[in-house]
Structure 1
């Protein structure tokens, strides 16, 4: 009834092979019939290298496969400039050629109109009877014509995108300001400024006209993720106290060609005040008379020559602190302000509003702003001992009032 089958007691040996979509049997047969590889030829000193291999270059191990490497895009900047080239050869797409021709003809017409208006301005400036109001309108129209005559040219757009724009020219200043105002950077800043009540807690009003960016040393996690040594800080983001023990790098983009003086200050409006059971302000940084224009270097230097920078130090037991950085235009753009240096004993209780009013600094007339947040950690204790040389204060949050405490003591069903 049952057929007996003899089982082989000898263990089966399989040759190690890479298995693809074929069966095990096909793989083993292929390994049995495959010819043995020739012996490796030892490398003797003086043997000529392969074609295209340079001295000291290591040949990549590709397993015999023809690997095609991706070409990296060359670095383009003002230090390494490049010229714009047509992406499509002439005659390949007639519509592209016609569109480029229309843009260039429109640019020539606007340039001719701008030249005629410039000549009219020169005549008006040398006239016996000078109308300043009419001259100002003509200068504004000339600026608009200079922007419109070049804003649509492909080479201008290409240079601007590749950070090769000359900020001394009106067209590049216009493109930079439009990108800042329309791509979301300004909207994000104003959202955080009003959402976290910087306006009106610190200053009554703010209409930014200068783009401010700050960077701080990256954390270990950011470095592992491929971030640079200094990471940009998004407005309103949380930053560790150890990242701000040294003053942050401040970068600006200004859109006016003439040089104007600005005042930089950094305040913390969330320091607890025990006597009034409220909050007061601490001045962390002050630097007046900073000359800025569209052609100045983006990173601000020499910012620690007036009231030096003191690191943020949120007190233990308090909620997060807002650290507000303001860059406000001075009332007279060419006359330096004689602001006295603020002593360390006068930093706590600094009245920001009266200071701005006293020295004619108005956020409603322009300027720039930035902010970040911090909470207490163990690194703050080091700032108190090493920088401030004072005993670290400790605050406890008051117990939450329970309005139903009396009701909870009453038995419900008795």
Structure 2
């Protein structure tokens, strides 16, 4: 039987015998219709040759457009056939089906719907991510490019295995810093991008997109670590915990941890286990990696003790709290002119100046430092 927690996306189920299934929203979600209605006539009734398609903005291009010969008749025949097949699939759905089987049938019933296809191509940020068919197409897009790009950067920059041993990504993780006024820094960040200190001086907005259906308020942990903190006593590097969120409730559609949530005192008290502190690389130190990991809390709510933040063992933390790594992101930083300002903003001590060449012995004796 289907759990009541899944009632919303399944409210349109039933047995259908009408072939006009794609125009009937009495039991199907209205989010499956065109998001922008100005395209409805062009898409479903044909394009007026005297006006051209609304999807073309420039008037000269619209007037120069010519539809392929017999496209309207061909489209109508194809539409009626596919709509009829969709109605047959909907007729197989009932409340005795499992959630997984129901989602599979819902995808199959809507995957050729022209309105759904138009929405996913032209309005991907506005679609209803509770609908299985939209998540299916989002997953295909992610797997065709962004998933491979993320894994390439995580392996190329040795985030794997320097922080966690491996990763089989299950979710898309996107990061941006919307407090910036420059688009270069305020839009979604490509993994591996080198960012200045001022661009990351506020907590990031994080989007975690699940493609399988998850229950409302499923819990997640987000950890941001820097595995490139210089450790002068051992002449090597240690891992610093820069940010930690635990027991964060998310769902397929409510999948963003952003400024609005972080400014809410109640949210912060419940979920911010370690306040955000940006990376502030020191002069002549190597590029530092800001490694953001997303975990599913497989055993429900956790009461985690962070432990030593300046020498953080992310693997032990994940294992002891039964956390499943499902996605990751990375950006990089180096010393720049804005580092000292960010240090002052966070009340951090002055940075140090390192020798440009790493030697076999500690570059600075323990307990001493040079001010930048």
TM-score between both structures, scaled by the size of structure 1: 0.64
The whole-number CA distance in structure 2 between the counterparts of 1:139 and 1:153 is 22
| Aligned residue among 56, 59, 82 for 2:36 | 82
The whole-number CA distance in structure 2 between the counterparts of 1:347 and 1:359 is 16
State how 1:26-37 maps to structure 2 within 5 Å. Answer: none
Q: Do the aligned partners of 1:168 and 1:257 also contact (CA within 8 Å) in 2?
A: no
| Aligned residue among 64, 69, 73 for 1:94 | 73
The whole-number CA distance in structure 1 between the counterparts of 2:342 and 2:303 is 30
The number of residues matched between the two structures is: 291
The whole-number CA distance in structure 2 between the counterparts of 1:174 and 1:149 is 12
State how 1:210-225 maps to structure 2 within 5 Å. Answer: 210-216=171-177, 223=182
The whole-number CA distance in structure 1 between the counterparts of 2:229 and 2:329 is 19
| Aligned residue among 83, 89, 114 for 2:93 | 114
State how 1:116-195 maps to structure 2 within 5 Å. Answer: 118-119=95-96, 121=97, 138-161=98-121, 162-163=123-124, 164-182=126-144, 184-195=145-156
**SS where residue 306 of structure 1 aligns?**
strand
**Which structure has the larger Rg?**
1
Q: Do the aligned partners of 2:185 and 2:199 also contact (CA within 8 Å) in 1?
A: no
State how 1:8-407 maps to structure 2 within 5 Å. Answer: 81-83=35-37, 84-87=40-43, 89=45, 93-115=72-94, 118-119=95-96, 121=97, 138-161=98-121, 162-163=123-124, 164-182=126-144, 184-216=145-177, 223=182, 227=183, 230-255=186-211, 256-259=213-216, 260-300=218-258, 301-302=261-262, 304=268, 305-332=272-299, 335-340=300-305, 346-363=308-325, 367-398=326-357
The whole-number CA distance in structure 2 between the counterparts of 1:176 and 1:379 is 37
Q: Do the aligned partners of 1:218 and 1:231 also contact (CA within 8 Å) in 2?
A: no
The structural deviation recorded for 1:368 is: 1.9
Q: Do the aligned partners of 2:225 and 2:241 also contact (CA within 8 Å) in 1?
A: yes
**SS where residue 112 of structure 2 aligns?**
coil
Q: Do the aligned partners of 1:271 and 1:315 also contact (CA within 8 Å) in 2?
A: no
**SS where residue 187 of structure 2 aligns?**
strand
The structural deviation recorded for 1:374 is: 0.7
Q: Do the aligned partners of 1:257 and 1:295 also contact (CA within 8 Å) in 2?
A: no
Q: Do the aligned partners of 1:217 and 1:243 also contact (CA within 8 Å) in 2?
A: no
The structural deviation recorded for 1:290 is: 0.5
Residues 170 and 389 of structure 1, relative CA distance in 2, 3 Å threshold:
closer
The whole-number CA distance in structure 2 between the counterparts of 1:199 and 1:85 is 50
**Higher mean C-alpha deviation, range 198-207 or range 252-261:** 252-261
* Structure 1 portions without partners, runs of 5+: 1-76, 122-137, 402-414
Q: Do the aligned partners of 1:272 and 1:279 also contact (CA within 8 Å) in 2?
A: yes
* Cα distance per residue 1:320-374 (max 9 Å; x no partner): 0111111110122xx31111355xxx321111111111111232xxx22110011
**SS where residue 362 of structure 1 aligns?**
strand
The structural deviation recorded for 1:386 is: 4.0
Which of structures 1 and 2 has the larger relative contact order (alpha carbons within 8 angstroms, sep 6+)? Answer: 2
The CA RMSD measured in Å over matched residues stands at 2.7
TM-score between both structures, scaled by the size of structure 2: 0.71
The whole-number CA distance in structure 2 between the counterparts of 1:228 and 1:81 is 28
Residues 229 and 282 of structure 1, relative CA distance in 2, 3 Å threshold:
closer
* Cα distance per residue 1:140-171 (max 9 Å; x no partner): 33321111011111112223332443222221
Q: Do the aligned partners of 2:225 and 2:242 also contact (CA within 8 Å) in 1?
A: yes
